[in-house]
């Protein structure tokens, strides 16, 4: 009966390997509800209370260009985004339920 041991052990080992690979298969996704815009303090790198385009460019944006989004944030068009302008801006998203 010893002859059957090796294939059995092999199949068990392969089964375990397959299970381990299956567990590591799907990539972890970010939890829902964490896709909002970053806080102003994170974007304002020098913490002077004003967000400049150069600072804004340091952060990835999901869509569009930094210039485009920055213009939308800069409500009065003076080339600087204040915390008030940033907080009052709401990016387009799914309609509230």
Backbone φ and ψ for 13, nearest 5 degrees, come out as -60, -45
- Close Cβ partners of 82 (under 8 Å, ≥ 6 residues apart): 49, 50, 51
Question: Does residue 12 come out as left (phi exceeding 0), alpha (psi in the -120 to 50 range) or beta?
Answer: alpha
**Among residues 9, 38, 48, 88, the one that binds Ca ion under rule CB under 5 A:** 48
Least Cβ distance, residue 78 to Ca ion (angstroms): 4
Applying the rule CB under 5 A, the residues between 52 and 91 that interact with Ca ion are 74, 76, 78, 80
Q: Which stretch binds Ca ion (CB under 5 A): 9-17, 24-32, 41-49, 62-70?
A: 41-49
Q: Which residues bind Ca ion (CB under 5 A)?
A: 44, 46, 48, 50, 74, 76, 78, 80
């Amino acid at each position: 009966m010893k002859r059957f041991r090796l294939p059995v052990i092999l199949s068990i080992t392969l089964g375990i390997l397959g299970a381990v690979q299956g567990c590591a298969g799907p990539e972890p996704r970010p939890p829902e509800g964490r896709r909002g815009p970053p806080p102003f303090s994170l974007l304002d790198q020098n913490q002077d209370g004003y967000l400049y385009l150069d600072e804004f460019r340091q952060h990835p944006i999901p869509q569009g260009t930094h210039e485009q989004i920055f213009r939308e944030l800069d409500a009065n068009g003076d080339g600087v985004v204040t915390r008030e302008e940033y907080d009052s801006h709401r990016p387009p998203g799914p309609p509230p339920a």
